[in-house]
Structure 1
């Protein structure tokens, strides 16, 4: 970012753009979360499973987000790594009610964290422990323990309990990303 761009961001004249990768297993709620973050007049009424990936844009008070919504289906997860270099932040969504697939989510997270394009970068990771409204959901603290998030020492990370359908917990996560991104401008 050039000096004039930085100055315009600092003065609030131009929004800083952040490229975010939204990752997680299929049916964890990635697309629903992204949809809920868009202005209400731009939200879709019917959410379909993502095939491959889609790109969405939305704005917060001081940032413009370009989100790469990556399919979490097993046959598409190998596409994730092709976008790691472009990502400036990661949203990793976990279905907190699906204890059986929590192990798979941890394996995918470990693969992500050990990839050469991610391993040596201080890329922020926002975790959404989604579907907290469901009866079998575990707490965000338990999700953090199951994913061994305490072992992530070289990257800023934050976990939020969320209910994507109601939009609960989403603003907390966006605020954290925004605070982190504006602090590094």
Structure 2
């Protein structure tokens, strides 16, 4: 069946589809990231915090992405793991100006990376699910420098997942396209 799916995709009869999770602490900018991609870069004035999760679709690099925008409030974070088994990639959004909760974001990232569903055999590789980390609000004067974020999240010690850290601003789109291109390439390389 895998051969047949690959053959149809190669003939462009079957479209490449992937599920991505968009996670991170509350108020990090997850919904704003989704709105940016879904609207084609048009700015939305009002962003309502996500309760539970929302599902949105958008296109990138020949992929149809189904994005599960998960709430980052502490009482909803346990829902994230219910979607790990079917995800092809993760966008982990952090608020790079929130110095007080960087340790909490680091802990949530570590819990996610260590979950068995995130490192299971994917296609023909044993690589874990690719993770794009968006250091959102990086344009603010109080934002933590990207090198310090890399160190605080311990990204250099993680070797079980392809990981990319990108400075971003979800309101203007800075860093979003480059990050999504990286994630799309990883998803295609590992799954199709």
TM-score normalized by the length of structure 1: 0.92
1:100 aligns with 2:105: no
Offset of residue 120 of structure 1: 3.9
The worse-fitting range, judged by mean Cα deviation, of 26-35 and 2-11 is 2-11
| RMSD (Å) for aligned C-alpha atoms | 1.9
2:187 aligns to what? 181
What is the aligned length? Answer: 185
1:130 aligns with 2:149: no
Offset of residue 44 of structure 1: 4.8
Cα distance in 2 for residues equivalent to 1:116 and 1:183? 21
Residue 43 and residue 131 in structure 1: after superposition, are their counterparts in 2 closer, same or farther (change >3 A)? closer
Cα distance in 2 for residues equivalent to 1:34 and 1:12? 26
1:58 aligns to what? 58
* Structure 2 residue corresponding to 1:166, chosen from 172, 177, 184: 172
2:88 aligns to what? 88
Residue 18 and residue 134 in structure 1: after superposition, are their counterparts in 2 closer, same or farther (change >3 A)? same
1:22 aligns with 2:28: no
**What SS class does the counterpart of residue 173 from structure 1 fall into?**
helix
Cα distance in 2 for residues equivalent to 1:159 and 1:60? 19
Mark the runs of 5 or more structure 1 residues left unpaired by the alignment.
none
Cα distance in 1 for residues equivalent to 2:42 and 2:86? 25
Cα distance in 1 for residues equivalent to 2:142 and 2:10? 44
Residue 43 and residue 83 in structure 1: after superposition, are their counterparts in 2 closer, same or farther (change >3 A)? farther
Offset of residue 58 of structure 1: 0.2
